């Protein structure tokens, strides 16, 4: 691909090409439906050109909301050719699924409040209040659902039941759990007779992107197997947890939740709404419960097994997302900053690698096991800014923009040589590229 001469117009062209009128596809062909966290990031970019269109992106997400408050990670396109995708999940098996749309039965990182506030920032005060009032009931219902269903022991940390929920599908801590405990007998048999090589031929993603840049097929089969088991229980969390397969309190997801709780509280305050007492209680508990994920020995936060409370110590970028939560005490934030600045770990030439360079899991071109992703950089930049680490935030911003300018709006980038990999014309890279470009960071007042 040609280097991008005008990043903003190139990025808007990507968003226009992926525009489906009321929502934006993450990438045409490869990801044809509406995804939850993608649309939040996309709205953050779209707001700079057309605020109504950005609002529409968020409102479209709400049509997928389940009666219990869950926002699904995917709302399926109703085109005939995607019947197979809709049938795989069959959301109608649950009486709680929304009417008139097909969705999955799981969620994705809760960035809705972030998208709502970023849109609100660009509205006049009256319009902003009107906007907040319009979306507040659905937002409140979503956060209440997260605690009610996903924090059954009232610990202040919410659990996830599928790696797709964290949005970093093959991130090492989850893959290690999968390999150790979760492979069904039939997947183990396929592995033994190398049947996965045959199945490779039928994969849709690897028709668009080389196999070495994606999951291996055994892992894909395992993910669909978990999905099938969730569907068989009609996505009923009590039945799922009763016979739990995977239940992980993910550090990245909980970091995002904690920050978005703060934004939810700001929204409520500005429209003079009072948050329900039990939700407020859970939100408070979350900020302190977060400390239980800290591991003094390695100077890092980790995800945790819901049942045993064992920390999952495979290093990954999820640990660094604690900076976005705002819940980390400043001395711990400095420890994380050291890892970000260490050349053996996260300070690659084209940061930020999703797995540290010195980890045995690191693979420069494999999906969430090494490549740098623009959405993760955006979240960490935002966290660093709020801690006052402006110099570091400015550097990551500049290097992120360089990657996009040199290569185009790729899905992810090789953190060592900066090559764009995954699918080209990826929407959140475009949207967040625009947002980073339009928000320079002044470093003169750096007081960490
Ligand atoms: C991949 C990513 C996920 C994203 C989706 C659509 O599955 O891992 O985070 O939401 O694609 O872009």
Tell me, yes or no, if 411 is annotated catalytic. yes
Taking the domains of the chain in order of start, what are their residue ranges?
Answer: 4-437
pLDDT band at 19 (very low <50, low <70, confident <90, very high): very high
Say yes or no: CB of residue 35 within 6 Å of ligand 1: yes
pLDDT of residue 164: 96
Say yes or no: CB of residue 31 within 6 Å of ligand 1: yes
What atom in ligand 1 is closest to the CA of residue 368? 8
Token representation of residue 359: 């980890």
- DSSP designation for 106: -
pLDDT band at 111 (very low <50, low <70, confident <90, very high): very high
Pocket test for ligand 1, best of 23, 31, 160, 421 (most atoms within 8 A of CB): 31
Q: Ligand 1 centroid to 167 CA: how many Å?
A: 6
Say yes or no: CB of residue 38 within 6 Å of ligand 1: yes
pLDDT of residue 119: 99
The structure's pTM equals 0.94
Q: Residue 315: which residues within 8 A CB-CB, separation 6 or more?
A: 172, 298, 300, 345, 355, 356, 359, 361
What atom in ligand 1 is closest to the CA of residue 411? 12
Q: Write the DSSP string, 324-389.
A: HHS-S-HHHHHHHHHHHH-TTTT--SS--BSS-TTSTT--TTSTTSS-B-HHHHHHHHHHHHHHT-
Pocket test for ligand 1, best of 15, 18, 26 (most atoms within 8 A of CB): 26
Tell me, yes or no, if 200 is annotated catalytic. no
- DSSP designation for 90: -
User: Catalytic pick from 149, 169, 177, 219?
Assistant: 169
Whose alpha carbon is nearest atom 12 of ligand 1?
A: 26
Q: What mean pLDDT is predicted for residues 144-170?
A: 97
Q: What mean pLDDT is predicted for residues 379-388?
A: 98
Say yes or no: CB of residue 165 within 6 Å of ligand 1: no
pLDDT of residue 218: 81
Question: Please, what is the angle between helix 51-62 and helix 112-121, to 10°?
Answer: 160
pLDDT of residue 217: 79
Q: Does residue 1 surpass a pLDDT of 60?
A: no
What is d(CA 261, CA 12) in angstroms, rounded to the nearest whole number? Answer: 30
What atom in ligand 1 is closest to the CA of residue 37? 10
Q: Ligand 1 centroid to 111 CA: how many Å?
A: 14
Which fold would CATH assign to domain 4-437? Answer: Glycosyltransferase (1.50.10)
Q: Does residue 364 surpass a pLDDT of 80?
A: yes
pLDDT of residue 319: 98
């Amino acid at each position: 691909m040609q280097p991008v001469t005008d990043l903003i117009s190139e990025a808007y062209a990507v968003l226009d090409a992926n525009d489906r009128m009321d929502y934006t596809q993450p990438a045409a062909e490869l990801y044809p439906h509406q995804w939850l966290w993608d649309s939040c990031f996309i709205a953050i970019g779209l707001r700079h050109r057309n605020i109504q269109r950005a609002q529409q992106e968020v409102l479209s997400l709400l049509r997928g909301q389940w009666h219990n408050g869950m926002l699904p990670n995917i709302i399926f396109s109703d085109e005939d050719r995607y019947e197979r995708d809709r049938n795989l999940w069959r959301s109608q098996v649950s009486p709680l699924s929304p009417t008139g749309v097909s969705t999955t039965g799981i969620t994705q990182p809760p960035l809705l409040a972030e998208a709502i506030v970023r849109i609100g920032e660009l509205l006049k005060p009256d319009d902003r209040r009107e906007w907040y009032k319009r979306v507040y009931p659905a937002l409140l219902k979503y956060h209440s659902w997260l605690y009610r269903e996903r924090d059954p022991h009232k610990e202040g940390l919410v659990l996830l039941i599928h790696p797709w929920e964290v949005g970093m599908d093959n991130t090492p801590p989850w893959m290690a759990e999968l390999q150790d405990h979760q492979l069904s007998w039939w997947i183990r048999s396929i592995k033994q007779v190398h049947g996965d090589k045959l199945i490779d031929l039928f994969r849709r993603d690897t028709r668009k992107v080389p196999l070495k840049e994606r999951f291996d097929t055994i892992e894909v089969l395992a993910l669909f197997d978990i999905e099938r088991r969730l569907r068989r229980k009609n996505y009923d969390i009590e039945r799922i947890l009763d016979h739990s397969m995977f239940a992980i309190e993910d550090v990245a997801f909980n970091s995002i939740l904690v920050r978005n709780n703060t934004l939810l509280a700001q929204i409520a305050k500005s429209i003079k709404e009072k948050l329900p007492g039990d939700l407020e209680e859970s939100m408070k508990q979350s900020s302190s419960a977060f400390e239980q994920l800290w591991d003094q020995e390695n100077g890092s936060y980790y995800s945790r097994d819901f049942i045993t409370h064992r920390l999952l110590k495979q290093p990954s970028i999820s640990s660094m997302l604690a900076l976005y939560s705002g819940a980390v005490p400043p001395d711990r934030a400095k420890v994380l900053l050291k890892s970000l600045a260490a050349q053996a770990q996260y300070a690659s030439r084209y940061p930020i690698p999703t797995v540290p360079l010195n980890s045995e899991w690191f693979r420069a071109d494999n999906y969430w096991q090494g490549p740098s992703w623009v959405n993760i950089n955006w979240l960490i930049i935002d966290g660093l800014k709020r801690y006052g680490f402006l110099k570091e935030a400015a550097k990551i911003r500049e290097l992120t923009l360089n990657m996009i300018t040199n290569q185009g709006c790729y899905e992810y980038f090789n953190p060592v040589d900066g090559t764009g990999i995954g699918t080209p014309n990826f929407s959140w890279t475009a949207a967040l590229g625009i947002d980073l470009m339009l928000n320079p960071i002044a470093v003169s007042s750096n007081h960490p």
